[in-house]
Amino acid sequence: MLTIEPASAAVGAQVTGVYLSDDLPAHHWEAIKQAFQRHSLLVFPGQELTVEDQKRFCRRFGDLLVHDHLLPMTVEGHPECMRLHNDENNPPGLNAWHTDNSGWPDPPLGTVLYAKTTPRVGGDTLFSNMYLAYEALSAPMREMLGQLTATHDAKKAFGADYPELGEMLKKKAIEVNDRFGGGKAVHHPLVRTHPETKKNALYISEPYVTGIDGLSAAESQAILDFLYRHIETNEFIYRHRWHTNDLLIWDNRCLQHYAVADYFPHERLMYRMNILQEESG
């Protein structure tokens, strides 16, 4: 029996009683999609899935994104699927709050992450609810932020500010300058209205953001520093402790996440896919 229960007071729900490798009935998919809008993060424990199963699940929500700049890190024959493997020879990369791929013009709708090998200790992922972060701000702050945009640049996330990530890419023969040297910075609003829920959410991503448009460097940094600390408020956060065969889907439009890099040198293997846009039709 399909069961959906909140995972925390802040964000997320756990979905049990279904196996995503099966051909689920239409009413189950409708309930899952409604829960995704309501909870922004869904946890499916105990799923035995192939890469094709995971792709089929993702396509229920939209088209899959192919990361051309990260193709050496994908599963052979499956350019949509990133193989994230860390062990004593491959330390974890990005260790910061962020939302995926905000340095591109069309950031992904969501992320689906499937755990095949989990460390004996550590390796949790934290999720912060950007609806709650926005709602907790004062009315004058919400009004000011609603008028502003920020510059997001992919080169920052894969550059000198995050050397661990750069080193990880180099081991896969991915040269940052070659992949991102010609890329242009993009501009996104600091407050984003979710297209389905119509609710407002903060939209920042520290690894990508270089500044707030139209403000002095000092003004921009002061506001960003405040927002980066604000999203860390405990009441906005759910912490997921991974188990083998967990599958998670989360909404990048209203959540930030933090993959805690505290499990080195233990092994961790995840398969990641990004959903680019809503399912057509």
Residues annotated as part of the active site: 98, 100, 257, 272
Interatomic CA distance for residues 212 and 141, integer angstroms = 14
Residue type, 230: H
Q: Which residues pair with 247 in a beta bridge?
A: 44, 114
> Alpha-carbon dihedral of residues 209, 212, 216, 217, nearest 10 degrees?
-10
Instruction: For residue 275, give the H/E element and its range.
Output: strand 268-278
- Contacts (Cβ under 8 Å, ≥6 apart) of 226: none
Q: Which residue has the tokens 């409604």?
A: 34
Strand segments, DSSP code E, in the chain are 3-6, 13-16, 41-44, 62-64, 74-75, 78-86, 110-117, 125-129, 149-152, 186-189, 191-193, 200-202, 209-212, 237-240, 247-251, 255-259, 268-278
Contact 10, 136 (CB under 8 A): no
Tokens encoding 277: 């846009």
Coil, helix or strand at residue 214: coil
Q: Look at strands 41-44 and 3-6 and give their pairing.
A: unpaired
CB hemisphere CA count around 7 (13 angstroms)? 28
